[in-house]
Amino acid sequence: MNTYNAPLRDMRFVLHEVFDAPALWARLPALEERVDADTANAILEEAAKVTGQLIAPLNRSGDEEGARWHAGTVTTPSGFKEAYATYIEGGWVGLSGNPDHDGMGMPKMLAVQVEEMLYAANTSFALYSTLSSGACLAIDAHASADLRATYLPPMYAGRWAGSMCLTEPHAGTDLGLLRTRAEPQAGGGYRISGSKIFITGGEQDLTENIIHLVLAKLPDAAPGAKGISLFLVPKVLVNADGSLGARNALSCGAIEHKMGIKASATCVMNFDGATGYLIGEANKGMAAMFTMMNYERLSIGIQGIGCAEGSYQAAIRYARERLQSRAPGGAVAIDKAADPIIVHPDVRRMLLGMKALTEGGRAFACYVGQQLDLARFAEDPGERQRSGALAALLTPVAKAFFTDTGLESCVNGQQVFGGHGYIREWGQEQYVRDVRIAQIYEGTNGIQALDLLGRKVVADGGAALRLFCAEALAFADGCNLPYSRELVAALDRLLAVSDWLMDSARTNPNELGAASVEYLHLFGYVAYAYMWARMAAVASTRRNEDPVFHDAKLATAAFYFQRLLPRTLGLEASIRAGSATLFGLAEDQF
């Protein structure tokens, strides 16, 4: 019963009014002739049509039918193959790809908006192309010129797909334990042998080839993660002229039967002496793979935003139509037997929470995209370095906070429906099931929290953190803006807690792990406060241009600062309580 309509007005607000992306693109030589406001708007409008009219209608049917495996072959649900063929005609897989290899070269600030539409419309469908985009990024950054020329154009065109083969049954977070082996061949290339699990899109019927990026160890590799190399392993071997040759020695042994994203094939992949090609340097595979992983972590974070937006749209429609009881202050719909449930305070609390978190996430995703664009395209080395540091700092926040709050929003959307939210035909239970995986794959959110606190804050003494906070403080101190005082207080809290943790960790190694999840949430709420302060500042100066939209933005900002940002007080108290209570039980007392 659900439909999806991309929130184009809000996306344009974030891109053009809050971040003035066209002005940024105009000062970056690599982008100035490639994209402007009109181009961005045209792309957003076309993406809205594709996702709303072509992809979203397959969401429920794809979930009910699921991907199917038979004798090593995977079949996607009815309609997926035809929709994918139409989708790739628009060049969407290569939207932000390198133009030197037939990508469109669009900035990440724009691409994150399109990815949100994809995930909101149909998460399972979205995963087939977003994995390809990430694989292309790793190939473009680390592979040889010959590999780039051979593989990138058909991957950007969507005729070939990509996958990421990391996990093994015994090696998940600790990839240093992996057993997949790569044997050098006399004529060049390698023979890859081993099994990988949880491989999204490892086998499917949408494309004529699948390019697997596989982590493996050479015979003389050092133990642990330092001995891992990255290999490109095509499903179908590619001839010298670019045509397809024989099937490679690999196969899909099974697909997983999952809680959600059922139309996405999650595969067990077996490599039986498959031909592969080294990407980057030997024993430097983790660095190369993390180029893809960091892209995917932001992308999977956006899955949280997209699912939350889809759930919100459905909840709003239902809350306006469902009649139950009268408003506390008296009848509103006098001509009806009861009032629509949107009049009730608790329903409004849930809806406003969804709206504030989703719109805050959309702005923050665009902000992270801005840092990635500057790190890639800025002419000034100092600006590139600064933005690269911010992007590295904020990526784990984006992945984990987007998905944690995304699940919260989808659960609230389901709750708005009451009993109907638990029934399949209304669609809300699917959003809850589909968004849940986003907290787990591409590095669990607990690992993201450890990465943020240990590797991104403590490791550099808080230098990158202070870059971010200094920028937000400069904004708050610049003039008399809405919520400046609240933003400054939140930033001060984040900095004080960070300093306390860094001091505590010097004498107690358990403190970082004990506080990491609460710390990431604290960081996330403060980052959203910065976004909402920026959005409120713009809305307050442009109220006369579009009063309905901008007044709604100001009202949502007020809700965020008064009802959601205070969560940081409890998070601070939990962090400062320390790690001792986590170790108060012996193992046999659990």
From the list 469, 570, 441, the residue with the least C-alpha distance to 518 is 570
DSSP assignment of 228-239 = EEEEEEESEEE-
CB count within 10 Å of CB 199 equals 25
Q: Choose the catalytic residue: 115, 203, 296, 442.
A: 442
Angstrom distance (rounded) from CA 149 to CA 459: 38
Specify the pairing of strand 190-200 against strand 181-184. Answer: antiparallel
Where does 322-344 have alpha helices with state H?
A: none
Query: Residue 247, Cβ neighbours under 10 Å: how many?
Result: 12
Q: How would you write 405-470 as a 3-class SS string?
A: HHHHHHHHHHHHCHHHHHCHHHCHHHHHHHHHHHHCCCCCHHHHHHHHHHHHHHCCCCHHHHHHHH
What is the C-alpha separation between 201 and 128, in angstroms, rounded? Answer: 6
Any idea how long the chain is?
A: 590
Q: How many CB atoms lie within 10 A of CB 71?
A: 6
User: Torsion over CA of 138, 139, 141 and 146, rounded to 10 degrees?
Assistant: 170
| Packed helices 428-436 and 285-321: angle between N→C axes, nearest 10 degrees | 160
SS3 97: coil
Place of tokens 């607000």: 13
Place of tokens 């990526």: 395
Told to judge if 383 belongs to the known catalytic residues of this protein, a careful annotator would answer: no
Could you say which DSSP state residue 562 is in?
Answer: I
Contact 213, 151 (CB under 8 A): no
* Residue 479: how many other CB atoms lie within 10 Å: 8
CA distance linking residue 564 with residue 141, whole number of Å: 40
Residue 164 pairs with which residues in a beta bridge?
Answer: 213
Residues 273 and 184: their CA atoms lie apart, in Å, by 11
Measured distance CA(65)–CA(76) in Å, rounded? 9
Tokens of 241: 């002229």
DSSP-assigned beta bridge partners for residue 191: 183, 275
Distance CA 516, CA 501 (A): 10
Largest Cα–Cα distance of the chain, in whole Å? 84
- Annotated catalytic residues are 442
